[in-house]
A and B are shown apart, each in its own frame.
Chain A
């Protein structure tokens, strides 16, 4: 089973070019990767959350470098509740480490491969095409089944993933335009079921609104 961070990274990866392409941009991906790790830790009962707070229950190291990237700064601040939004903002600085470690883990699991190349024949670059797309197909199938069928009650892990995919603006990459149009309301509803994910979406919507306002 892939982690939330691995699933969201994989969904954000263009399987033709091997590079991340997101309607929501790199900021959304970074925020979603952090929220994905927070989600993972909450399923391990290391963290809990409510509408306003992230509650640190156990910040001792797990031995998993991706999870510990988030737990280390939380441990420094001590156990107990702290403001959810500020906490996610503080953890944002761990996003590039989470992205690097997540990509390495997907390479290690042979889901993607690392291919060296050059931009304009000069600048070294690296891209990460998908080797085995079974994982990707499985995630997309799961998401489609949840958001297109109003009778389906998602399991708690899937509510986190729906929030993260919504935050990154990835549903247009997964659903047909018709499916997307018909599922908008349900996607909105499902994306609120995870409290951390709902807070992330509000925050990104606020940022987008601020940027749109500033551009006028």
Chain B
């Protein structure tokens, strides 16, 4: 999995490309938690995320827990198959999910 990263002011935009599963989630977890620990707000652009497994969901849950105070983590542009996983598993109730990255950045800013 490739992870693209860019900054917009105090906001880090992480874009995982491909599959977020047990084999690929460690690097994503490291980057995501490092940004949150560095007090940055993080928008995860899921437009190129093809697949998410249980292991990938756990990474997001750990990040949500790390972001306990709230307001520094947002997801955007979930594909239909990934959105379905979020809805069935109840993850959509834990995260703020935006239709576009621009909306996520605006909400975080």
Contact = CB atoms under 8 A, between A and B. Distances in A.
DSSP majority for the A interface? Answer: mixed
Contacts of B21: 48, 55
B55 A42 contact: yes
A189 B52 CA distance: 19
A193 interface: yes
A51 interface: yes
28 contacts: A42-B22, A42-B54, A42-B55, A48-B21, A48-B54, A49-B54, A50-B53, A50-B54, A50-B85, A51-B85, A51-B88, A51-B89, A55-B22, A57-B22, A153-B61, A153-B68, A154-B61, A154-B65, A155-B65, A156-B61, A159-B61, A190-B90, A192-B88, A192-B90, A193-B61, A194-B54, A195-B57, A196-B54
A198 interface: yes
Nearest to B61: A156
A189 B90 contact: yes
A45 interface: yes
A193 B68 contact: no
Contacts of B85: 50-51
A50 B51 contact: yes
B54 A195 contact: yes
Interface residues of A, number: 22
Interface string B38-77: 0000000000000111110110011011001000000000
B94 interface: yes
A22 B68 CA distance: 35
Contacts of A155: 61-62, 65
A118 B22 CA distance: 49
Interface in A34-57: 42, 45, 47-51, 55, 57
